[in-house]
Amino acid sequence: MADSNVKVLGTWASPFVMRVTIALHLKSVDYQYIEENLLEAKSDLLLKSNPIHKKVPVLIHGDKPVCESLIIVQYIDEFWSSSQPSILPSDPYERAQSRFLAAYVDDEFFPALRMVLVSTTEEAAKAAMAEVLEGVVVLEEAFKKLSKGRAFFGGDDLGYVDLAVGSLVAWINVIEKFTGAKLLSEAKTPSLVAWADCFSSHAAVKDVFPDVDKLADFGMRFKAKILNAAAAAATN
């Protein structure tokens, strides 16, 4: 039974929403999930709960909304601190390193990944792909450092960086499907290949991991919307 005291406003294709649901699963927190249709109209509840950005995910705990995925994950870890596992490391330096890498994912890696999908020119797509390929090497090296030879960025179980990076695995699969390029490979990123398998099969992940074919179809429709908007702007 979902706990009506905890609600998540989201959309199934969003990697950022996935971070929140995984964190709740890790902490064994029951919640009510409310699907938003962002391609049509945003609900009054979303607009009220996140009036600044008007985006998902939003965690509503009681009557208090918390916005932005990484902030929500930190809130979940702190509020349900007695529930294991801890998502952020206890060591202050390791915690800082995890936050730094998660910020890199959101500020640099994800925008490049997104640009591969929605670029309106071949030149822009190639430039974005080059950034993505550099990024996966950065993540491969970071994994070796943070995991210390264990299965996850967080060690023996999923942690903060696992949620930040892992939420993008399905979209990485979609881009591989679209482009024919192998972003994660045994040759260049063997650690990430093994990690991605462990991540997607984890008990807290597998029920919310999106179907890649369905996600690819969504991606095609999303790109068509971007291209149509660009074409309309060019004619005005």
Q: Write down the pLDDT at residue 1.
A: 36
CATH 1.10.443.10 for domain 92-214, yes or no, is no
**pLDDT at res. 79:** 97
Average confidence (pLDDT) per 10 residues, the chain, 236 residues: 79 97 97 89 95 97 97 98 96 97 98 93 95 98 96 97 98 95 96 98 97 94 79 70
Domain 6-80 indexed as CATH 3.40.30.10: yes
pTM of the model: 0.94
Instruction: Return the pLDDT at 208.
Output: 96
What b/e sequence results for 68-98 when a residue is b if at least 16 CB atoms lie within 10 Å of its CB, and e otherwise?
Answer: bbbebbbbbbeebeeeeebbbbeeeebbebb
Q: What are 84's strand-pairing partners?
A: none
Kindly list the domain boundaries of the chain, sorted by start residue: 6-80, 92-214
Q: What is the pLDDT of residue 3?
A: 52
What is the pLDDT at residue 4? Answer: 65
Check residue 120 and give its pLDDT. 83
